[in-house]
Chains A and B, each alone.
Chain A
Amino acid sequence: MYAALRNRFYTWIFQWRGPEAGAIVLGQRRIFILPTRLGLVFATVLLVMLAGSINYSLGLGFVLTFLLGALGVNAMIHTFRNLANLRITGGRARPVFAGDTALFTIHLENLGDTDRYAIGLTHDRRQASFVDVMARSTMPATAGVAAPRRGVLRPGRLTLFTRFPLGLYYAWAYADLDLRCIVYPRPAPSGLPMPPAASSAGSGTERGQGQEDFSGLRQYHLGDSPRHIAWKAAARDQGLLTKQFTGRAETELWLDWAQLPPQMGVEERLSYLARWVLDAHAAGLAYGLRVPGTSVEAAAGEAQRERCLETLALFDRDP
C-alpha cells in the first residue's frame, strides 16, 4: 500500500513515463536537484559565519558570508547546467550469460560550448561510472546491470547524475531508454558428453583429439572449454587464450533438446544445450540446434554460436 502510493507519487513528481524511443534531451523538466549532505554542512558553516559577523560587526565578514552564499546559489545553477541539454541515445549492449553483469552503453552528446565534467551513470545508485563530455562531442557511458535470468534484459530507468562543480548539490535525471540486452542461459558445468555426430564423416566428433590441425590462438571467451585453454600461454602471463582447430567442417553435429535425459527441466536443458554450443564452437565444429518449435541449421563460426545462444536465450520468451 505504502510502496504503491510512494511509487505513484514518484511517478507524478519525477514524470516517469516508461521507456522512450529515440533520443532524450535533458530539458529543465527532466532534471532534479537537491543539496548533498556536504551542501547542508556548507550552509551550516555559512550560518555560523553570519552569526560571527553580526556578533563582531565584521563588515568584511558579511561580504565573505554573502559572497559564499551567492556562490552556493551559483553552484546550484552550475550543477544543473552540467546536465541540462545533454542529448542521450541508447547504444548496444553485448549479450551476457545469466548471472553476469550486462553492460549497457548510452551515448551522451554535448551540443553546447561548455565542457561537462564528472557525469555519473548508475542503475542501482550503488555503483556508478563517470564520464567527462567535452564541448560539442559525444561520449559513451556504461552502466552495469545484473542479469540473473536468461531472456531479454531491460534495464529500465538509468540515472544520470552530477555533483560538479562544488559537490554541494546532487542533480539527476532519469533516462528510460528502450535498451535491451540478450541474456544467454548460464552454461552448465561441463561433464555431460556431447551427443554423437549423426553424419557419415565419421571421425572428429570428440573434442581436442590429436588428428585435427591446430590453427591458432584467440582470446578466451566465457564458456570456452577449459581443455582448449592454452595453459602454457597463460603461464607465460599472456592472459587466457583458447586454442582453435580447423579441418572439421565436414562433421555434422546436431545438438538436440530430445537427446537430453527426459527428466530434465526446461532451464536445465537450456543450460546443457548452451554448454554444448560453446563446446562445439570451441572445438570448431559445424553444428545445428533443435529445440521444440525452432531449429537452427548446422553451421560453424561466431555467427552460428550467437544465433544458437540467442535461440536458447529467447526460448519460450518474447524477444
Chain B
Amino acid sequence: MTDPKQPIAWHHVRWLLLSLLLVAAPHALHMPAWTIALMAMLAVWRAYVGYARHALPNRWLLLMIALAASIGVFLSYRTIFGRDAGVTLLVIMLGLKLLETRTQRDAMLLSFLGYFLVITNFLYSQTIGTGIYMLACTVFVTATMMSLNYAGSEPPFRAQLRTAGMLLAQSVPLMLVLFLLFPRVPGPLWGLPRDAFAGVSGLSDTMTPGSLSSLVLSDAVAFRVRFDAQMPRAKDLYWRGPVMWDFDGRTWSAQFFFYTAPGIEAAGDLVAYAVTLEPHNRRWMFALDLPARVPPLSLVSTDYQLYSIQPVNSRLHYDMTSFLNARFGEAENRFALRRALQVPPRSNPRAQELGRELRQKHADDEQIIGEMLSMFRRNFVYTLEPPLLGENPVDEFLFSTRSGFCEHYASAFAVVMRAAGVPTRIVTGYQGGEINALGNYLIVRQADAHAWTEVWLANQGWVRVDPTFAVAPVRVDTGISAAVPRTDPLPLMVRPPYEFLRQARLTLDYVANTWNQWVLGYTPERQRSLLAHAGLDDATWEKLTAVLLVVAGVIVAMLTALALRQLKSRARDPVTIAYVRFCDKLRRRGLTREAAEGPVDYARRVERLRPELTPTVEAITRLYVALRYGAESSAIALIELQRRVRQFTA
C-alpha cells in the first residue's frame, strides 16, 4: 500500500468515509436539508461501490453533480462565497471527491482535506465540547492516514487508533510551544465574508419598546470583568454602551458624531479592571461610567462611548480604568444641548403636554426630575412582558398601560424631560452582573441589559438618572430576577431557587472563561504581555522566532532520544555490563575477545599471554560464569564482580 498509485482496499474506504462523516457531521446543523440528503446519498453510493467492488462512477457524471450542487448552493444562499455557502460547497465537493478516490494518493489527499474540514467547524463553535469532539476526529483522520501506509499486515483499527493517539500525544509539547511562542499576527489577512460572524446577540444602536426586554431573555455572556482591587457596589455598576440622542416618536437611535469633547470636572473614585468582551460584531466596547482611559485600537466619542476601530468580531480583552461619580460635561457644546432637547412635535402629545406642565410648575430642573420620578414610583409596574404599544408609545405607556421595562421608563422620562426643556439623552448598556467567586470575576450577561438616562444640569453637567431605579430599586440593587414578577419568563439561570444549577453554571463559566482567556483569546497582545511576564520584554518577531527555534529544537531532540531509546535491545543485565567492561579493559591492551570465544577459553588465552594477571582474571571469570550460567544469583556475588572489574588493570 505504500505505492501512491496503488488502489486502496475496501476497509480503507470504510475508514475514510467514517472519519470524513464524523468531521462533517456538525455542519449538518446549518446546512440546507437537501445538501444533507445529497451527502448521505454520496456516502452510501461510495460505500456500496467499495463494498461490492464496482467501478467508480464516470468523471463526467460527477462533474455534472458538482455543477448542479453549486447551482443549488447558490440558490440556497444567494452566493457561493460567504462562510455558510463556502463550507457547504466544501462538504459537497469532499463527498464527490470520495467517489473518485481510487489510489492511495487520492485517499491521503482526502485525509488532508479532512483536517481542513476540522478547522471549518471552528468557524461555528469553539467551545470545549467542540474542541474535544474535533480532537477525537483528528485522531480518527490520523489513524485513517496511517492505515494507508501499511504494507502487508495491518494491525486492527483499534490498535491503529491508539498509535495515532500516541503520535498526537507526543506532538502536544511541541504544539504548546508553537502555540505560545509562534509570532502572532493580528488578523484579518483578507476580507471576511459578510456572514462570518452572523448570529451574535447584543445591544443595538436603536431602541424601541420591547428591544431590550427581548434581549433580557438571553443568558448569553456579554462580557466578563476582573477588578484589580475592590469591586464597586452593585448600584455603581453601570456599564456604558451606545448613547442615544435622536428620537422619532417611537425609536431612539445612536449616531456617531464628533464635536469638541466636554471635559471632566471632577474625577471621583478611580477603579481599574480588565474586560473580556464577547464578540458582538458592533464597534462599541463597554466600560463603567465614566471611562477614564482609551484602550489601544479604540477611541472615545464626545458622549463618552468607547468605540473599537474594528467591529468586535473576536473576543476582545482590554484593560480599563473608570471614574465612579465623575462630574463631566458642564461646558457642553450648545448644539449638542439643543439636540438633546428635540422631540418630534406631533408625536406623543400628552407626554409633551406633561413636560410643559412640569416646567410651568417648577423653575428648577431638579424639582422637575424629582416630580417625574415620584410619579413613576407611585403607580407604575416593572415587568418583562409589557403590553404592546401603538402609535404614540410614550403616551400609551404613561397614561394607560403604566407597566413596562427599563426602555419604556427611560424613553418616557427622556421625552417628558425634553418637553420640559431639560436636555436629556438615553444611555444603553448593562447594569450589574453576577460574581463568580470561583474565579473572582464578574459575569455580565445579555440579561443584564439596561437603559437609563442622563440629564444635563447647569453647574453639574451630565447627571445619571435611572428611572427604573424609581420603580424597582431592587433591579439595580440585586438584579433583574428580584425586580420582575415571578411569572415573567426570565432565563432559568438568573432565578434564585435554582441555586444548585446556578453554582454548577458558575463553575462551568469559570472553566469556559479560562478556556476563552487562554486558548481562544490568546491574541498578539496577550502573547506580548505573557512574554513580558516571563522576562522577555518587547518581543519582536525575530526574538520570538529565535526563542521558538531553541525551545522547539530541545523538544524535538528529546522526542528523538525517547523514540530511539526503545530501539536498542533491552538494557543488559548488570552482570553482562560488568563483564563487557572487563573485556574492554583487556581489549585496550590488545587482548581482544574473539567473537566465538567463550569466557573460559578467553581467560585461558589471556593467562597464557599475561601470566601475571592469572589470579584476577580467573576470579572475575569464575564469578561471571557462576552468575551468568550457574546457579549463583546473589547480590553479594554481583557486587564482588563489579568491584573486581572496577579495580582490574591489565
Query: Do B521 and A59 touch (CB < 8 A)?
Result: yes
Alpha-carbon distance between A168 and B260 when the two chains are bound, in angstroms: 63
CB neighbours of B567 from chain A (8 A): 81, 84-85, 111-114
CB neighbours of B175 from chain A (8 A): 63, 66-67, 69-70
B526 smallest CB distance to A (angstroms): 11
Query: Do A67 and B564 touch (CB < 8 A)?
Result: no
B168 within 8 A of A: yes
Query: Do B192 and A55 touch (CB < 8 A)?
Result: yes
Q: 0/1 per residue, B538-553, Cβ < 8 Å to A?
A: 0000000000000000
Query: Do B149 and A166 touch (CB < 8 A)?
Result: yes
A58 within 8 A of B: yes
Given contacts A58-B126, A84-B564, A118-B2, contact A45 B112 (CB under 8 A): yes
A47 smallest CB distance to B (angstroms): 12
CB neighbours of A131 from chain B (8 A): 151-152
Given contacts A41-B112, A66-B178, A118-B2, contact A111 B126 (CB under 8 A): no
User: Quick one: closest B residue to A85, CB to CB?
Assistant: B567
Alpha-carbon distance between A116 and B442 when the two chains are bound, in angstroms: 55
B170 within 8 A of A: yes
Query: Do B105 and A38 touch (CB < 8 A)?
Result: yes
B34 within 8 A of A: no
Query: Do A71 and B171 touch (CB < 8 A)?
Result: yes
List B557-587 residues whose CB lies under 8 Å from chain A: 559-560, 563-564, 566-570
When the two chains form the complex, which single residue of A42, A60, A77, A78 contacts B130, counting CB atoms closer than 8 Å?
A: A60
User: Quick one: closest A residue to B104, CB to CB?
Assistant: A167
B134 within 8 A of A: yes
User: Quick one: closest B residue to A42, CB to CB?
Assistant: B112
List A164-181 residues whose CB lies under 8 Å from chain B: 164-167
B345 within 8 A of A: no
Q: 0/1 per residue, B154-176, Cβ < 8 Å to A?
A: 00000000010001101111110
A62 within 8 A of B: yes
A42 smallest CB distance to B (angstroms): 6
Alpha-carbon distance between A306 and B550 when the two chains are bound, in angstroms: 63
Query: Do B519 and A63 touch (CB < 8 A)?
Result: yes
Alpha-carbon distance between A48 and B560 when the two chains are bound, in angstroms: 28
A34 within 8 A of B: no
User: Quick one: closest A residue to B123, CB to CB?
Assistant: A56
Query: Do A71 and B142 touch (CB < 8 A)?
Result: yes
User: How many A-B residue pairs lie within 8 Å, measured between CB atoms?
Assistant: 181
Query: Do B171 and A73 touch (CB < 8 A)?
Result: yes
Given contacts A52-B119, A61-B122, contact A117 B556 (CB under 8 A): no
User: Quick one: closest B residue to A59, CB to CB?
Assistant: B520
Query: Do B151 and A64 touch (CB < 8 A)?
Result: no
Q: 0/1 per residue, B290-316, Cβ < 8 Å to A?
A: 000000000000000000000001100
List B89-135 residues whose CB lies under 8 Å from chain A: 104-105, 108-109, 112-113, 115-116, 118-119, 122-123, 126, 130-131, 134
CB neighbours of A52 from chain B (8 A): 119
Q: 0/1 per residue, A73-108, Cβ < 8 Å to B?
A: 111011011001100000000000000000000000
When the two chains form the complex, which single residue of A41, A49, A60 contacts B126, counting CB atoms closer than 8 Å?
A: A60
> Max chain A CB contacts within 10 Å: which of B167, B184, B523, B570?
B167
A54 within 8 A of B: yes
Alpha-carbon distance between A52 and B192 when the two chains are bound, in angstroms: 10
CB neighbours of A138 from chain B (8 A): none
CB neighbours of A56 from chain B (8 A): 122-123, 187-188, 192, 196, 314
B173 smallest CB distance to A (angstroms): 8
A269 within 8 A of B: no
Given contacts A81-B564, A132-B153, A167-B149, contact A57 B130 (CB under 8 A): no
B531 within 8 A of A: no
Query: Do A113 and B115 touch (CB < 8 A)?
Result: no
A163 within 8 A of B: yes
A142 within 8 A of B: no
Given contacts A60-B520, A64-B118, A85-B568, contact A165 B559 (CB under 8 A): no
Query: Do A59 and B519 touch (CB < 8 A)?
Result: yes
CB neighbours of A49 from chain B (8 A): 115-116, 119
Query: Do A38 and B150 touch (CB < 8 A)?
Result: no
Query: Do A64 and B172 touch (CB < 8 A)?
Result: no
Q: 0/1 per residue, B505-533, Cβ < 8 Å to A?
A: 00000000000000111110000000000
Query: Do B566 and A73 touch (CB < 8 A)?
Result: no
Alpha-carbon distance between A30 and B561 when the two chains are bound, in angstroms: 17
A231 within 8 A of B: no
When the two chains form the complex, which single residue of A42, A45, A77 contacts B563, counting CB atoms closer than 8 Å?
A: A77
A198 within 8 A of B: no
Q: 0/1 per residue, A153-196, Cβ < 8 Å to B?
A: 00000000011111100000000000000000000000000000
B182 within 8 A of A: yes
B164 smallest CB distance to A (angstroms): 8
Query: Do A165 and B167 touch (CB < 8 A)?
Result: yes
CB neighbours of B256 from chain A (8 A): none
Alpha-carbon distance between A51 and B145 when the two chains are bound, in angstroms: 24
B431 within 8 A of A: no
B138 within 8 A of A: yes
B104 smallest CB distance to A (angstroms): 8
B146 within 8 A of A: yes
Query: Do B108 and A69 touch (CB < 8 A)?
Result: no
CB neighbours of B192 from chain A (8 A): 55-56
> Max chain A CB contacts within 10 Å: which of B105, B145, B182, B567?
B567
Given contacts A56-B196, A64-B122, contact A117 B171 (CB under 8 A): no
Query: Do A132 and B119 touch (CB < 8 A)?
Result: no
CB neighbours of B522 from chain A (8 A): 59, 62
Query: Do A54 and B122 touch (CB < 8 A)?
Result: no
CB neighbours of A69 from chain B (8 A): 174-175, 178
CB neighbours of B188 from chain A (8 A): 54-57
B107 smallest CB distance to A (angstroms): 10
Query: Do A77 and B559 touch (CB < 8 A)?
Result: yes
Given contacts A56-B188, A56-B196, contact A67 B172 (CB under 8 A): yes
Query: Do B189 and A55 touch (CB < 8 A)?
Result: yes
Closest 7 CB pairs of A and B: A59-B520, A130-B151, A70-B171, A70-B174, A57-B314, A112-B567, A118-B151
* 30 A-B pairs whose Cβ atoms sit less than 8 Å apart in the complex: A45-B113, A45-B115, A45-B116, A55-B187, A59-B521, A61-B119, A61-B122, A63-B519, A67-B172, A70-B174, A70-B178, A71-B168, A73-B171, A74-B171, A77-B560, A77-B563, A78-B563, A81-B567, A111-B567, A112-B568, A113-B566, A114-B567, A117-B149, A117-B150, A117-B153, A118-B2, A118-B150, A118-B151, A132-B151, A162-B2
**Known A73-B174, A167-B4; further 11 A-B contacts with Cβ < 8 A:** A38-B108, A45-B112, A54-B188, A56-B188, A59-B519, A71-B142, A85-B564, A111-B567, A117-B149, A118-B149, A165-B149
Identify the B interface with A (CB < 8 A). 1-4, 104-105, 108-109, 112-113, 115-116, 118-119, 122-123, 126, 130-131, 134, 138, 142, 145-146, 148-153, 163, 167-168, 170-175, 178-179, 182, 184-185, 187-190, 192, 196, 313-314, 519-523, 556, 559-560, 563-564, 566-570
